[in-house]
Chain A
Amino acid sequence: MAAYAHPEVLVTTEWVANHLADPRVRIVESDEDRGLYTMGHVPGAVEIDWQVDLQAPLERDYIDRAAFERLCSERGISNDTTVVFYGDKNNWWACYTFWVFKLYGHPECRIMDGGRKRWELDGRTWSTERVAPPHARYTATEQDASIRALRDEVLRHQKSGRQLLDVRSPEEYRGERMHMPDYPNEGAVRGGHIPGAVNVPWVRACNDDGTFKSARDLEKLYVREVKLKRRSPTIAYCRIGERSSLTWFVLKYLLGAT
């Protein structure tokens, strides 16, 4: 395989630069730290924060459908808007936001390959201007349960010997540490991995400039190295969701896995 399975989901920084004023396009930044967007964002981009905007305030869950509709409306996103996500560190949180948009059935979603890093490396302009698009009308679908696995489904999946992908660091996988290297513990209470899971750290899907690896390299990594079967269902997991969102994006859209 020489090409991505769904190459249309990736856009370059050049494409984004050429669509800054396109009313059919909304550019969305999502980062670990909200200060990054504040210090400078792609001109015209709105911010969606994984914590304040996408997580329910009272339960350990994503926002509900009504809140998602409100969020899209406030960000000037309607059902037919092409939404381009980008952000820090290989687009990990951008993939998380992309995933939530797919959870509520948004059709046209893209990732700006390379995110903030590539935008910077390409010498493009940063803006600190306020962005307040006119509110839009938005109707979300029910959650797409096919892209989300809850505990009981994971258990059934595991018991039937299906593919489980642990995308955390090798040290977390082996139970030597309970958080990312260089990051403090955020509350994982037990070390180790789900029995049967193979380990492919999320970051291995990305190049140093924040872009995704080529189809050939991804195939080498997931298909040849860990023998992932693309036609067999896979559950990817990490700890709070941003790393597995990126791997989910890579497997589904770049490698064409089910």
Chain B
Amino acid sequence: MDTVASRVERIVGEFADLDPREKLELLVEFAAGLPPLPESHRARRAEAEGRVHECQTPVFLWPEVIDGRARLVAEVAPEAPTVKGFVAILSQAVEGRPAAEAAALDEAVIDRTGLAEVLGMLRSRGLRAILARVKRGLLAAVPPTTSAPRPAAS
């Protein structure tokens, strides 16, 4: 079954058994696959909206939910191919899946792919900040369900 979790497993499998240099090469391949920023987001990029704090590179992220389906629109500077590769992995993992499922994406992916080891602690912290930002964005974009308990008016 195609789920965010199954996609993550497939990606983790691609990284398994690679040596550190091969992991970097695969990450750079993922980076090349990140689609260019759509026209609709260019102006918003100029306003620096969607900026991720705490990572070391200019990264612009728009986690979105359209008709209940998640997608990640993003732009990462070309001088940051490993960050771009990680964002591409996240984008592939969540694209078109239900928002709640996408928002449950586990940050263990950074360790399980071995990226934490090849990129070092500071950069891994940056990747975790990116993932946290994507998850928060997706959760914020999910409309509250009608069955959710509502606080009583006071």
Contact = CB atoms under 8 A, between A and B. Distances in A.
B4 interface: no
A51 B83 CA distance: 15
A197 B80 CA distance: 32
Interface in B56-105: 56-59, 79-85
A130 interface: yes
- B contact residues, range: 20 to 34
Contact of B118 (A36, A52, A88, A128): A52
A35 B80 contact: yes
Given A32-B80, A128-B25, A185-B54, 15 more contacts: A32-B56, A33-B57, A33-B81, A33-B83, A35-B31, A35-B84, A38-B28, A39-B28, A51-B120, A88-B79, A89-B79, A183-B58, A185-B53, A186-B122, A187-B54
A35 B51 contact: no
A55 B119 CA distance: 12
Interface in B115-145: 118-123
B97 to A, nearest CB: 27
B55 interface: yes
10 contacts: A33-B81, A33-B82, A34-B119, A35-B28, A35-B82, A55-B120, A184-B55, A184-B59, A185-B54, A186-B54
A38 B52 contact: no
Contact of B53 (A49, A52, A182, A184): A184
A57 interface: yes
Contacts of A52: 118-120
B34 interface: no
Interface in B20-69: 21, 24-25, 27-28, 31, 51-59
Contacts of B85: 35
Contacts of A187: 54
Interface of B: 21, 24-25, 27-28, 31, 51-59, 79-85, 118-123
A150 to B, nearest CB: 21
B84 to A, nearest CB: 8
Nearest to B82: A35
Given A183-B57, A184-B53, A185-B53, A34 B118 contact: yes
A35 B24 contact: yes
Contact of B24 (A38, A55, A186): A38
Contacts of B24: 34-35, 38
A127 to B, nearest CB: 13
Interface string A22-55: 0000000000111110110000000001011001
Contacts of B84: 35
A65 B81 CA distance: 31
Contacts of A36: 79, 81
A32 B58 CA distance: 12
Contacts of B51: 184
A57 B120 CA distance: 8
B130 to A, nearest CB: 10
Contacts of A183: 56-58
Nearest to A132: B21
A212 B96 CA distance: 49
Contact of B120 (A49, A88, A130): A49
A38 B81 CA distance: 9
Contact of B21 (A32, A33, A51, A130): A130
Contacts of A32: 56-57, 79-80
Interface string A105-118: 00000000000000
Nearest to B51: A184
A187 B25 CA distance: 29
Contacts of B122: 51, 186
A51 B81 CA distance: 16
